[in-house]
Structures are given as C-alpha cells and as structure tokens.
Chains A and B, each alone.
Chain A
Amino acid sequence: MRSLPETIAGWVHDGFSLLGQIRITSRPGGSFELRHREDVAVHGLEEFHGPSAARDLSFFDEARNYRPLKTAPNLRRGWSLIVETPEDLRLALDHFYPAMTALWRSQLEASLSSVPLRDTLDRQTGMYAASKRLQDEEGLQLVASACNSKTGCMKRMLWPFTKTVELTGFSRLERSADVLTLDSGEKEIPLLCHEACNILVAACRETVKKRERAAAATV
C-alpha cells in the first residue's frame, strides 16, 4: 500500500496542483514548490525551504494576526516554499491545511463518514455542553455565516444539520467532495469537513449563551 506522502506526490503528478489557496508544482529532481495560488505569475517571491517554514507562513495572516482556522480564506501571499521530498510535502501541507490530504484519501477509499452537527453537539461535555441547547433556526443561520467559503472557511461540509434537517444557503458544490477542474486543466483537491470543528462548536455555545443571557435580562 502506498503511504500518504507517496499518494500525495502521485496526485500532484496527475494534475492535482491546487489545495485551498495553495498551488503545488513538481520540480525536476523530485522536489516541489508551493506558493499562494494568486502568486502564480509573481516574480521575486521570498523563498523558503523545508516544511518547518510552513508553520510560520500558515500561522499568521498578512497583518500578523493569528489564524486559528487554517482553512479560512486568508493565507498570506508573497512567498515560495521549496520542499525536497514527498514526506516534506506532506508535512508542509499538514501545516497549511492540517489533515486535509488525509481526509481526501479517506474519502477516495470510502472510509470518511460524516457526523451531523447535532450529534457532535450532543456529545459535548464540560463548558461546551451548553451547545446542546442550540435551536435549529439559530444554528442554521450560524453555520451559513461561519462556514461561508468566501468569508469564513473554505471547507465543504459533508455533514447535515441533523439526520433529517439539511443545511441551507450553500451550493451543491460547497456540500460535496466533487473535484473542481479549472479551465487550465488544473485540478483542486477538495478541503473536506466531515465533522464540525471546535471553533463552530464554540460558536454554537456562544449563540446559546447569548440568547439565554438576553432572556434572563428581560425576566
């Protein structure tokens, strides 16, 4: 069985050159170059080497603000990163988009099962237990803005709101694992969300708390 690094290298050779806001190019000799996809024709980018450099590049946006959600559409520009081996490519991509290549592999192997948001919330304990009291209406609204691909997060939600209630306000593509092929022929590895992240769970809790505080204030 091929390892994940070998699998990723195989995808790149097969034309999967885009992941989120990153463009991957294979170079002669077996190394790879990564850069922001908008910097495709830019010359004189600052050059970095090795997967560790991806840590700093991915942790802060252009204004040096911390990016707790790596799939937010605010990756900084102006750099080029060279990694020598498929192992280092895997490490670098896991800094930029943690676990995303692995989830795509699982999706292709049909071993990625999605979890409805309601089930994720029902599992919470401790301070996040309050998120269980999220109402459908407010929850749907929250997801529509928090998981919005233009402003919030570029992942595609494979999970429904509950087993019977679907999310609203998203296109079919935004809810699927379909591969997007650009006019140039380049293909994009989809960023997948098979289960709500902790940031969304925390936001669900905050929505509940806010409503309950407001209700308490009016009594």
Chain B
Amino acid sequence: MVFKPESALILVGHGSTVNPDSSAPTLDHAEELIRRKVFGEVHCAFWKEEPSLRQVLHMLDKDDVYIVPNFISEGYFTRTVIPRELNLDGPLTSLNGRTLKYCDPVGNHDRMTELLSKRASEVSQGVPLKQSSLLIVGHGTNLNDNSAFAAKREVEKLRELDMFGEVFNVYMEEPPLVSEWADFTKFPNVIVVPFFIADGLHSYQDIPVLLGIEEDTGLAASQRDVFRKNPYRLRDRTLFYASAIGTEPSFVDVIIDQVAAFDSVAR
C-alpha cells in the first residue's frame, strides 16, 4: 500500500478557459487523495487554469515530489509542455533542493482496461454483457498525440477480457464513426464510453447528437442530464451512454498506482 506522508503529489490537468468541467475530475481526484491522507501534500496544476505549472512548485512544503499527469495518454503535453514548464529533465529532476519524480500519465496504466469494463458494466444496468456491444469513443487519429493509439490498445485488451459480446473503437470525425454505431454493432444492447479525461462539449453535446440521443439545438446540452436518461431506445436497440472515463472515482487508485509504478523502477 502506498503511504507517503513525507512526499507531495502534483496532479497535472489540462484545464480550460471556456469549459468549467474540464478541471473538475482533476480537482475531485485531488480532494479524494487529500481525504485519504496518502500523501503529505496534494496540489493540482493546469496548463490553462491556475495554479499554473509555473506557480505550483512555489506551493510545496515537501521536498520529495511526485508529478502525475492526469492525461489519457502520452503526447504533446506530457512530453513537451509539462517538462518544459516545470523544468524537468527526465523522470528524475533535482531542482532547488527538491526531487521531482515525473510519473507516467494516468491513462497509460494497465488498470485502465479494468476501469473501462467497470464503467461499462455499471452504466448498463445489469443487461447481459455478452449480449452487448461496447464502443470506446476516442479523439481522431489526426491529433498530435497518442490518445487514438491508447484507445486502440484498450479495445484490444477489452476484447481479450472476453466480457462483452464485441468491442469497437469509434471516433467523432473519422471511421468508424460514432454516428454509424447501429450499422456495425450486432447486439441488442450498445454501451458507449468516452475515453476522455473530462466531460465537456464532446461528451455533453457532440457525441449525444452523433448517437442520435439528443437534438442538435445549438444550445449547450442539458449537461449531466444526458447521463441520467439511460437507457435510450432507438434504432431497435437499447443504448447506454457513460460519462468520460476520467470522471470514474477509481481513477484515484490508478493515480496512486502510477506513483507505486514509478518507485518500482530502479533509477
């Protein structure tokens, strides 16, 4: 069990200047970590909100510091922005008397597969999973990050679990398209889980419209209501729609696991 009262944890999120829900999961997970007293100190830092990556090191009292990116995959932010803004020079950095330990992003951990299957089972209200098609929604492959690669890896691993009738990757802007879900799924139940860190316009509005469970009113979607109206009955199927995987409370355990994983590698 990880118990580090002499260490600090910095959880790094992307944040947003327009979407108040972007930083919510990062702040929620930090609150839970404080409540559990796993670390002596817990702080959040964001790229587009405050505390910023340029401010957060000033907040520390402890000298032994773990930095965990609350990101779905490796990519531009974890490889370029975070190291640059925090002056990191690799997994281990000594800076002004502190040791900064840069861990892997949360979404990279092996346990993500377990979290995705857990969320899919929970949202689907007890329907037989073997009679269900599971769709993992990812960002497209055209982005300069590895999130699409990570989403594909998770789908492979979910297939190996053999819990669901079938498992597919879907995307918003490239095939296989979210909007064509009914064409390539063959089971009576369809479960849709966005492989994103936070809920935002994509999960409240874009994906529901593409699935056909919300009208494109041009207005901000009814926010969390969209997740409360499960199941949806359309195109002769029963459809269950989950909120972004990063809002899953057990993400906290994976954050702690990433710290343990860092320590398990000799450096």
Contacts and interface: CB of A to CB of B under 8 A. Distances in A.
B256 interface: no
A211 interface: no
A195 B56 CA distance: 12
Contacts of A195: 54
B165 to A, nearest CB: 40
A199 B17 contact: yes
A70 B49 CA distance: 9
A59 interface: yes
Contacts of A59: 20
A171 interface: no
B141 interface: no
Contact of B58 (A3, A112, A199): A112
Contacts of B81: 125-126
B190 to A, nearest CB: 33
A194 B47 CA distance: 16
Contacts of B61: 1, 3-4
Contact of A126 (B19, B31, B80): B80
Interface string A1-37: 1011000000000000000000000000000000000
Contacts of B80: 125-126
B59 A68 contact: no
Contacts of A112: 58
A99 B76 contact: no
B265 interface: no
A202 B18 CA distance: 13
A99 B17 contact: no
Nearest to A7: B61
Contacts of A111: 58, 96
Nearest to A5: B61
A52 B32 CA distance: 11
A99 B58 contact: yes
A105 B58 CA distance: 8
B266 to A, nearest CB: 31
A108 to B, nearest CB: 11
A198 interface: yes
Given A126-B76, A126-B80, A68 B51 contact: no
Nearest to B19: A66
B55 A98 contact: yes
Contacts of A197: 50, 52
B177 interface: no
A18 B144 CA distance: 44
Interface of B (DSSP majority class) = loop
B58 A68 contact: no
A197 B85 CA distance: 12
Interface in B88-105: 96
B27 interface: yes
B50 A98 contact: yes
B224 interface: no
Contact of A102 (B34, B58, B76): B58
B7 interface: no
A41 B144 CA distance: 54
Interface string A114-126: 0100000001011
Contacts of A115: 54
Given A60-B20, A112-B58, A126-B76, A198 B84 contact: no
A58 to B, nearest CB: 11
B58 A106 contact: yes
B17 A70 contact: no
A91 interface: yes
B34 A91 contact: yes
A208 interface: no
Given A94-B59, A111-B96, A126-B81, 5 more contacts: A1-B61, A126-B144, A197-B52, A198-B17, A202-B17
Interface of B: 16-20, 27, 31, 34, 43, 47-52, 54-56, 58-59, 61, 76, 80-81, 84, 96, 144
30 contacts: A3-B61, A55-B27, A66-B19, A68-B17, A68-B18, A68-B49, A69-B50, A70-B50, A71-B50, A91-B34, A94-B43, A94-B59, A98-B51, A98-B55, A99-B50, A99-B52, A99-B55, A99-B56, A102-B59, A103-B55, A103-B58, A111-B58, A115-B54, A123-B84, A125-B80, A125-B81, A126-B144, A197-B50, A199-B17, A202-B17
